[in-house]
Amino acid sequence: MSMGRFLLRRILQGVFVIWGVVTVVFLLRFVTPGDPITFIAPLDAGPQVRENIARELGLHKPLYVQYFEYLVGLVQGDMGYSYIQGTAARSRIFNRLPATLELAIAASIVAIVISIPLGVVSATRRHDPADYAATTFSLVGISTPNFWLGIMLVLVLAVGLGLFPTSRRAIGFLPGTYFTALITRLTRSGMLDELGKTYVRASRAKGLPETLVRYKHVLRNTLIPVVTVLGLQMGTLIGGAVITEAVFNWPGLGTLVIEAINDRDWVLIQGSLVVIGAGFVIVNILVDATYAYINPQVRAE
Amino acid sequence: MIWELLSTIFGPVWKLLRGGVSPRTVRNLRKEFRNSLLAKIGVALVVAAILVAAFAPLLAPHDPTNQNLDKSNLPPIGFSKETTETSSEMVNGSIEVVNETVFVEADPAHPLGTDSLGRDMLSRVIYGARTSLLVGLFGTAIAAIAGVTVGLVAGYYGGKVDDALMRSADVMLAFPSLVLAVALVGLFGKAAVRVPDPLVAIGIEPGMPASFALPGTVILVVGLVNWVWFARVARGEALSIEGEEYVKAARSVGADDGFILRKHVLPNSVTPILVLATIQIAAIILLESALSFLGFSGTTLSWGFDIAQGRGYLASSWWISTVPGVAIVLTVIGINLVGDWLRDALDPGIEGEGGGP
C-alpha cells in the first residue's frame, strides 16, 4: 500500500472515530441524571417558564432531531450557544484552545527531546551512574502526580526563593512528566531487548562501527514500539495540561471543561469534549503517519 | 461489608491465579525476587501501604476528621518556626495594623503537624491510604472484568464482532482518561457509599470514625475509563491462543464457546493481565488523586483532596500539601516496582500497555 492510500484509510477511520466521539458526547446529556432546564430555570419557575426555556434552547424536539441538528451544526462549524452566557460556544472554546495547545505542545517537545536520548544513554551505559540516574528519574516520574509536582515547584520557587513561575513556557514540562518518564523507560527496555538480538552481533562481527549499529539499526527498531505507545499515551499529556491549568489557574480548555461541568452548561461541555477528542484523533493520525514512515511493514497490513 | 465486597470480587481472581500460574512461574518469581533489591523495596512499600490502610484506626493517633481550631496549622516535629501574625486593632477610633512575631511550636501529639482546621496530618495520611488503595483495587477490578470480557470475545470471534468492539475502544481512547473521568464524575454526581469500619465495629478503637466513605462514582468511573487497556491485551492473547490445537480439540468434542473462553483462553491469558493490572492500580491511584485534587471525589479523606486543601497555605504551612504527596509517591513507586518485578519474572510481552492518569 502506498503512503497516500495508507493515510487516506487512516483519515477515513479517524472521521469515523470522531463521529463516534460526537455521538457519545451528545448522548451523555441523556444518560446523566439531572435535567439541564432545572439548572438554568429559576427555582420558582412554573411549567410555562420551563417550557419556554426548553423551546428557546431547542430541547423540546425529539432526540434524533436534536442529534441531527447538532451534527449538521458541527459540520458547519457551529457548536451552539452557551446556556449560561448565551455566547457562541465555538468562540469561547477557541479562545481557550491556544493556551492549552501551547502547554501540550511545549510538554510534548520537552518530553520527546529528553526521553528518547535519556533512554538510549541508559540502555547503552548499563549499570553506569548515568543509567541509575535515568532509571531513578523515570521511576519517580511515572509515580508522581504532576499537579503535586507543580505545587512543590511553586513552594520551592515562589515561596522559598521568591521567583514566580508565571510563564507558561517556563514550566511547560509539567504536563508531560508522566509521559517523559514512561517513554524513557520504554526506550531503555526496548533498546536493551534489541541489543541482545542476533542481528546486532552479526553487524558487529561484520565490522560495522558501533555508532552505526546502535543509532541506525538498533534505535530504529526500538522506536517502532515506542512510537505506538507515544500515540496511545498522548492523552496523558492533555490530561496533564488540564490539571496544570488548574494548579496555576490558567484559563485554558481544561479549566473551561471543569467550569462548564460545574455549571451544567451542556453546549460548552459537548463542544469542548468534541474538540479535545477530535484533536486527539488528529494527533494520533499524525503519529501513525510517522509510524508508517519508520516501519514500512505497517503499510503492508 | 467491605470484606464481603473484597472476597466476592477477588475470590474468583485468586482461584484463577492458582489455576493460571504454573509452578515454573512461581519459581521465576522467587528467583527474580531474590536477585532484585528493587523488587524487595517494592514489596515492602506495598505491604506497608496495605497494613496502614487495613489497620488505620489502630495506627492513627487521632480521629482524622476531628477539627481543633486552637491547634490549626501546627508544623511537623522538627519544624517549629517563627512567623509574623498580622492583626488589626482599634486604637483610639482608628484601625491599626499590628505585626506580631509569634513562635509556633510543633506539638508532639501531631508528629506531621495539623492542617488549617487543626486536623492531625498523620491520621489523615493514614486514612487516605484506604481511599487510594480501595479505589485502585476496585477500579482495576472493574476495568479488568469489563476489558477482559470484551477483549476475549473480540479476539476469539474476530471479524465483525472484533471490528465493532475495537472501534468502540478507539472512541474510548480518543478521550484523555483524566478529562473523561472529570466529565463523568462531574455529571453523574459524587455519590459515596458509607462502609462501616470493621475494626471500630468490633469495638477495638471506639474513638475513631465508625464508617468511612467509599467513593462509589469515582470507582466506577476510573474502572470504565481504563477497560480499554485490558481489552487490548486480552484480545491479543485470545488471538494468539485461538488457533492452538487444544482449542480445536475442545471444540471438536463439542465444548461451547463460553466454556472454551472460560476454561482455556482465560487461564492462558492470566500472566499478562496480572502484570497489566498491577501497572493499572498505580495509574488509577494517580488518577484518583488528580480527581480528588480537582474536587471530583466522594470523600474528603483522600491524599489528593488534602493536597488541594494545602494549596492555599503554601506560604505559611507547606506541610499540608507536601505530606500527602509524599505518601502518594511512595505508594505508587512501590506498586510500580512490584509491576517491574512481575514483568521481569514473567515476561508477558506487554511492554508499554496500560493507561496513564
The answer to whether the Cβ–Cβ distance between B179 and A228 falls below 8 Å is no
A:254-293 residues touching chain B, CB 8 A cutoff: 254, 257-258, 261-262, 264, 269, 273, 276-278, 280-281, 284
Q: Which residue of B has its CA nearest to A155?
A: B314
**C-alpha distances out from residue A187 to A93, A118, A226, B350, Å:** 36, 8, 6, 14
For B291-322, the pLDDT digits (tens) are 999 999 888 899 999 999 998 888 888 899 99
The answer to whether the Cβ–Cβ distance between B314 and A155 falls below 8 Å is yes
For A217-244, the pLDDT digits (tens) are 888 888 888 887 888 888 788 888 888 8
Residue B82 has pLDDT above 80, yes or no: no
What residues in B contact A152, CB-CB < 8 Å? 321-322, 325
What pLDDT band is residue A170 in, cutting at 50, 70 and 90?
low
Task: Look at residue A298 in the predicted model and tell me its pLDDT.
Answer: 66
Domain boundaries defined on chain B: 2-74+110-350, 78-107
The answer to whether the Cβ–Cβ distance between B187 and A32 falls below 8 Å is yes
For B160-210, the pLDDT digits (tens) are 999 888 888 888 888 888 988 998 998 888 888 888 888 888 877 777 888
For B28-57, the pLDDT digits (tens) are 889 999 999 999 999 999 999 999 999 999
What pLDDT band is residue A148 in, cutting at 50, 70 and 90?
very high
Residue A167 has pLDDT above 60, yes or no: no
What pLDDT band is residue B218 in, cutting at 50, 70 and 90?
very high
Q: For the domain bounded by A90-300, which CATH number is listed?
A: 1.10.3720.10
Percent of chain B clearing pLDDT 70 (strictly above): 97
Task: Look at residue B145 in the predicted model and tell me its pLDDT.
Answer: 93
A:196-215 residues touching chain B, CB 8 A cutoff: none
A27 close to B (CB below 8 A): no
Of the ranges A7-11, A160-164, B16-20, B93-97, the best mean pLDDT one: A7-11
Contacts across the A-B interface (CB distance below 8 Å): 165
Domain boundaries defined on chain A: 90-300
Task: Look at residue A173 in the predicted model and tell me its pLDDT.
Answer: 79
Task: Look at residue B203 in the predicted model and tell me its pLDDT.
Answer: 79
For B2-74+110-350, CATH number out of 3.40.50.150, 3.40.1010.10, 1.10.12.10, 1.10.3720.10 equals 1.10.3720.10
| Whole-prediction pTM | 0.91
**C-alpha distances out from residue A53 to A28, A31, A50, A109, A256, Å:** 20, 21, 5, 46, 24
The answer to whether the Cβ–Cβ distance between A243 and B293 falls below 8 Å is yes
Q: Which residue of B has its CA nearest to A33?
A: B188
CA distance B346 to B92: 79
Task: Look at residue A164 in the predicted model and tell me its pLDDT.
Answer: 65
ipTM of the complex: 0.89
Task: Look at residue B171 in the predicted model and tell me its pLDDT.
Answer: 86
Residue A126 has pLDDT above 80, yes or no: yes
**C-alpha distances out from residue A233 to A97, A237, A277, B133, Å:** 20, 7, 14, 24
The answer to whether the Cβ–Cβ distance between A182 and B318 falls below 8 Å is no
